[in-house]
A and B are shown apart, each in its own frame.
Chain A
Amino acid sequence: MSTVTNTDQPTASRASFVPTGSGLTFSGVLRSESIKLWSLRSTYWSFSLVVVASLGIAVLMALAITSGYDSASGTAMGVNGPQLFVLAATAGLGLGQLIVAVLGVLSISGEYSSGMIKSTLTAVPNRLPALFAKVAVLFTFTFLVGLLSVVGSYLVAIPILGAKDISANLFDADVYLPLLGNVLFLALIAVFAIGIGTIVRSSAGGIATVLGILLLLPTVVALFSMLVEWVQDIMPFLFTSAGSEMITPNTMESWQGFLVVLAWVVVSLGAAALLLKRRDA
């Protein structure tokens, strides 16, 4: 027989197994994070709640606007149709902001509390692609859900506000720019929260920190500004104030507000990336 056999060789000198097949890619990690996001019930609950809260509060807000409204008083107060539509369409996003903040924290802290992070980081040992993919996926879907919320809210406000002859055009820059600004801020809150969740690595701590920054910090700084005058100058640079500055400019330009918001997000994500890379998982 011409076949060469080596069956009598000892176990140790057996040919080593050589792995074959597809490798790790960033698009693969993106897909993985997307599967992770959409395979948890909490994602559906949270996003549904954002939309429902937005639509519901839009109806209430539109009704509140129209009660006792006539075009003469509206003109007297200096409000116009686009402003009222934006007010109604975005009134419910405040609750949405809190929901996506919690969702953002949980998307990473849930991995730490369940031990999933070990699976994630053994699949993506350079770690940062996993964090950035998570950010990209949550940003994208939060943006889409936010868009759905404000456009839906705009639509439900049309018949209510229309009854009092209040009108606006969605494709008017006075309408779509503030709406998009709100949606962008919503998605950036989710990203900011992922950063905090990665830094803190605990659901309770992460949620407390993010909600503290969103809800508590403005009040605390406002109180301090009564005691110390210069503290008042900090106010516009708070995360939430900068968010509203970027949508409806008051003390600074819209792009400046956006840059301040971006700075908060970059600091949060930067610290998260640094710690994720450095710390033991």
Chain B
Amino acid sequence: MIQAQSLTKHYGSKTAVDAVDFTVQPGKVTGFLGPNGAGKSTTMRMIVGLDRPNAGSVIVNGKAYHEHKAPLREVGVLLDAKAVHTGRSAYNHLRAMAATHNIPTSRVHEVINLTGLESVARKRVGGFSLGMGQRLGIAAALLGDPATLILDEPVNGLDPEGVQWVRKLTKQLAAEGRTVLLSSHLMSEMALTADHIIVLGRGRVIADASVADIIASAAQDFVRVRTPQAGALATLLAQDGVTITNIELDVLEIGGLTVSEIGERAAAAQISLHELSAVSASLEDAYMKLTQNEVEYRTGDASTRHETEAAR
């Protein structure tokens, strides 16, 4: 269990994490979402004591991380960047980490097998691909058989098999009663893996709920309709609580009505439909809605950029 209380971190005049409160429960996979610069990595670094909070506190399994007698058995952590000396082999890196906690070499071999690193374990980490580096990071996180796992972008750079493996692994670890906190920018993957979501935006918690609740609260299911009489149908259905968006000339996206309601009313008005399908809102839709005002580094709009260049 991870509990943050008014956790705050400034870097110079910039507030990276702004009085954040949250609890990460054991037995679940909790997804940690947010745009770049929202404070996810900083929060994770503060949990394991790499960064010191300017105010507030965060405790893991009842204590500050550094107060535990066996930190690696309480928390296994994979941080976004490689945290391995490039001149050392994967095996020796894990052996050195294990030695601090008197973890036997047999456990080092176990995590090497578990993460599929057997063939490269004796090679120097400097030559590793991003995916191999991630596997080594996950192996290091699992070394102490920890009660809490904190994984920053674990699937970044992994092949599809690896992505699926991380999904199964994290679910299984949560099922064993462990606390799993996971960040990722892959919304579809997160929707499959996480039970609970915490969304950060500009250093604040902007959502903290189950995946279903997040989707339900932030994004709307809609119905996709293809009809040659789009104008007529739009006029027919226009009423309070119904949103109609004209996607293409003959395609409408209609929110607030069910498939059967639209079908029946179109039939009554003798409007022919070529397509009528319910589309469920995705976590990605919900995430975009939640964070649209919180994005720190927004991709520039191509057209405005041209104008600025022309103006120079």
Among B72, B147, B179, the most chain A Cβ lie within 10 Å of the Cβ of B72
Which residues of B30-78 are within 8 A (CB) of A?
45, 48-52, 65-66, 68-75, 77
Q: Does B25 have its Cβ within 8 Å of any Cβ on chain A?
A: yes
Query: Is the CB of A22 closer than 8 A to any CB of chain B?
Result: yes
A11-19, A88-96, A219-227 - interface stretch = A11-19
Task: List which B70-95 residues lie within 8 A (CB) of chain A.
Answer: 70-75, 77, 79, 81-89, 92-93, 95
For residue A113, give the distance in angstroms from its CB to the closest CB of chain B.
9
Across chains A and B, the number of contacting residue pairs, with CB separation under 8 Å, is: 148
| Residue in B closest to A279 when the chains form the complex, CB atoms | B52
Q: Assess whether B71 is in contact with A24, with CB atoms less than 8 Å apart.
A: yes
A23 contacts B70, CB within 8 Å?
A: yes
Which A residues touch B100, using CB under 8 A?
24, 28-29, 31-32, 123-124
Is A1 close to B, CB under 8 A?
Answer: no
> Given contacts A31-B99, A280-B50, is CB(A17)–CB(B70) below 8 Å?
no
- Are A25 and B74 in contact, CB atoms less than 8 angstroms apart? no
Q: How far is the CB of A225 from chain B (nearest CB, A)?
A: 42
User: Is A122 within 8 A of B48, CB to CB?
Assistant: yes
Q: Give the number of chain B interface residues (Cβ < 8 Å).
A: 54
Q: A16-B1, A21-B144, A35-B99 are in contact. Are A119 and B83 (CB under 8 A)?
A: yes
How many residues from A make CB contacts under 8 Å with B? Answer: 43
B1 and chain A: residue at smallest CB distance? A16
Interchain CB contact under 8 A, B49 and A23: no
Using an 8 Å CB-CB cutoff, how does the interface string of A202-231 with B read, 1 for contact, 0 for none?
000000000000000000000000000000
Contact of A11 among B27, B49, B74, B87 (CB under 8 A): B27
Among B51, B52, B69, B84, which residue has its beta carbon within 8 angstroms of that of A119? Answer: B84
The answer to whether A115 and B82 have CB atoms under 8 Å apart is yes
B101 touches A17 (CB 8 A): no
Q: Report A-chain residues with C-beta under 8 Å of the C-beta of B77.
A: 122
Q: Which residues of B contact A270 (CB under 8 A)?
A: none
Question: Please, which residue of chain A has its CB at the minimum distance from the CB of B210?
Answer: A12
Q: Does B292 contact A (CB under 8 A)?
A: no
Q: B residues within 8 A CB of A11?
A: 27-28, 174-175, 195
Encode contact with A along B168-182: 1 for CB under 8 Å, 0 otherwise: 000000111111000
Whether the Cβ atoms of A17 and B147 lie closer than 8 Å is yes
Once bound together, how far apart are the Cα atoms of A40 and B92, in whole Å? 9
Tell me whether A17 and B97 are in contact in the complex, defined as CB-CB below 8 angstroms, given that A22-B70, A121-B49 are known contacts.
no
Write the nearest CB–CB distance from B298 to chain A, whole angstroms.
Answer: 27
For residue A129, give the distance in angstroms from its CB to the closest CB of chain B.
9
Interface residue from B50, B82, B89, B175 paired with A122 (Cβ < 8 Å): B50
Distance in Å from the Cβ of B216 to the closest Cβ of chain A?
19
A162 to chain B, nearest CB (A): 43
In the complex formed, the residue of B with least CB distance to A22 is B102
Within 8 A of B (CB), among A102-160: 110-111, 114-119, 121-126
B103 beta carbon closer than 8 Å to chain A:
yes
- Of chain B, the residue at the smallest CB distance from A129 is B100
B140 CB–A CB distance under 8 Å = yes
Query: Which of A15, A111, A114, A123 has a CB less than 8 Å from the CB of B97?
Result: A123
In contact, B26 and A19 (Cβ under 8 angstroms): no
Residues of B within 8 A of A124 (CB): 71, 100
* B146 within 8 A of partner (CB): yes
Which residues of B145-182 are within 8 A (CB) of A?
145-147, 174-179
Q: What mask results when residues 213 to 243 of chain B are scored 1 for a CB within 8 Å of chain A, else 0?
A: 0000000000000000000000000000000
Task: Determine whether A164 belongs to the interface, using a CB cutoff of 8 Å to chain B.
Answer: no
User: Cα distance A20–B101 when bound, in Å?
Assistant: 12
B186 on the A face (CB < 8 A): no
**Interchain CB contact under 8 A, B177 and A16:** yes
A-B contact list, 7 entries, CB within 8 Å: A20-B73, A21-B103, A28-B99, A31-B99, A39-B92, A40-B87, A110-B85
Residues of B within 8 A of A (CB): 1, 25-28, 45, 48-52, 65-66, 68-75, 77, 79, 81-89, 92-93, 95-97, 99-103, 140, 144-147, 174-179, 195
